[in-house]
A = this chain, B = another copy of it.
């Protein structure tokens, strides 16, 4: 059994590895708002328990066991978010903290029943894929909005950074998962782009925003 803190560290490692390279001590610490030395302690413990490999000074890599456990956490987190939004009418921008607590509830039966109750959803309210019972992640072929070019018409599939600020900004523009929009113009000097939603007036999105929107071709 893992403690809540151990699970948080495991999830942080998993999340960092998802985004590309190694998970470094300082990045894990930043993500969890703790200090590097605390992270080192934890990495040693998790390595001893067989959830990851810790290469001192070169970060951590997950073992199969660690990946499997991290996926159950992601599964729980996203299922609870789905429950909160779809059944309890929470806004998609206010579910994160609560799901952060709920994901640590330990009851395999509960997770699977919840999954069935929600109709075995494939994606959560942010458009992120929900691992299935076996821990398989179904991925979609998406690209970042900031890699699109003029004329592309795409559907928003996911938001990769779920900060309150970004989520509220999107909400204020009327954007959500599934929104369809066309790229109208690219501004090279600051990376911003003008986009036009299917219905409504065009507006501008900064690079900061478009970088975090995963889209699929329409």
Q: A residues bordering B, Cβ < 8 Å?
A: 84, 87-90, 94, 97-98, 101-102, 105-107, 109-110, 113-114, 117
Contact = CB atoms under 8 A, between A and B. Distances in A.
A84 B110 contact: yes
B89 A110 contact: no
Nearest to A112: B88
Nearest to A4: B4
B88 A114 contact: yes
A97 B109 CA distance: 12
Contact of A87 (B101, B105, B109, B117): B117
State the oligomeric state as a number of copies: 2
Contacts of A98: 105, 107, 110
Contacts of A107: 97-98, 101
A88 to B, nearest CB: 4
Nearest to A106: B101
11 contacts: A84-B110, A88-B110, A88-B114, A94-B109, A97-B107, A98-B105, A98-B107, A98-B110, A101-B105, A101-B107, A102-B105
Nearest to A105: B101
Contacts of A84: 110
A87 B88 CA distance: 13
Contacts of A88: 110, 113-114, 117
A38 B101 CA distance: 26
